[in-house]
Amino acid sequence: MPFLPHRHRRPIAVTALAAALALTATGCLGGDDRAKGPFDGKPDREIIDTAIAATKSARSLTLTAEGSMATTRAKKKEPMKLRISVHQDGRCSGTMSVAGQGSVEFAADGKDTYLRPDEQFLRFQLKQPDEDGAGLSDREADGVVKLMKGKWHKADAAEPGSKDFTEFCDVDSLLADFGSGTTAGVKQAGEASVDGRKTLKFTQGDKNEEELHVATEGKPYVLKLIGTPEDEKKDGELKTIVLSDFDKAPLPKIPAPAEIVDPDKLG
């Protein structure tokens, strides 16, 4: 079982962020090997459990991810980057960019979710075919872009996929899959570092291509994961997550009413 499992998400515009956040990590780790150094001979399973508990206890953190995702009904995958600051109370904010498709800012206050796509991202999504097989015409797209320019869209709680996104905007949900799994193929790979912080590295996979890094200085947070979802192994697409800013991630700036587009004008 890989470090990063696959979650099924519908490839529609509003759920694009949820799809990106589906890079949640699992703890398919454990074993009888004894760690050396700062973990004082503790077995792998205890080290991982300790790291999971420490990471989940953080009041906030910043997640940076790289991988690929599908944002079209054709499910064509493109390189994706994501940076999101997440708080225990459900507040979050960040930016997602997809190669050739633009970027979108997002923010949530624990109740409502707001999206602000750039023009490239918005036009790309507007041109995607709907359930009837047709996207907006150029004239229709121009009208929406004009209305949305510089504005935020407030996602309705009943909007398809809205819950799929907001459930990832708190630390507990983000790390819900940590700690499950088996011990098969997991082994320690010595000391390493992530952004200058020393780590104990664990690997898994035929070529040790999947990694999990646990901080060996300060609190034993999980600092980095690399993995491949099951249905993408044949393509060799690695996904990378780096966690940082524990307990000090910036608070999101929630849009003021004047910054939110009037949904009645969008039709």
Cα gap 128→56, rounded to integer Å: 38
Question: 256 burial class (0-12, 13-18, 19+ CB within 10 angstroms)?
Answer: exposed
7 pLDDT more than 80: no
The segment with the largest mean pLDDT, out of 71-75, 128-132, 147-151, 205-209, is 147-151
pTM: 0.78
More confident residue, 42 or 223: 223
pLDDT for 173: 61
The mean pLDDT value for 196-207 works out to: 87
User: What order of strands is seen across the sheet that includes strand 239-244?
Assistant: 153-155, 113-117, 102-109, 91-98, 77-87, 60-70, 239-244, 222-227, 210-215, 197-204, 187-194
pLDDT surpassing 80 at residue 169: no
Residues 107 and 252 sit within 8 Å (Cβ to Cβ): yes
Query: Using one digit for the tens of pLDDT, what is the confidence trace for 64-123?
Result: 988 887 666 556 788 989 899 999 888 889 998 989 889 989 898 888 889 899 999 888
- pLDDT above 90 as % of the chain: 23
184 pLDDT above the threshold of 60:
no
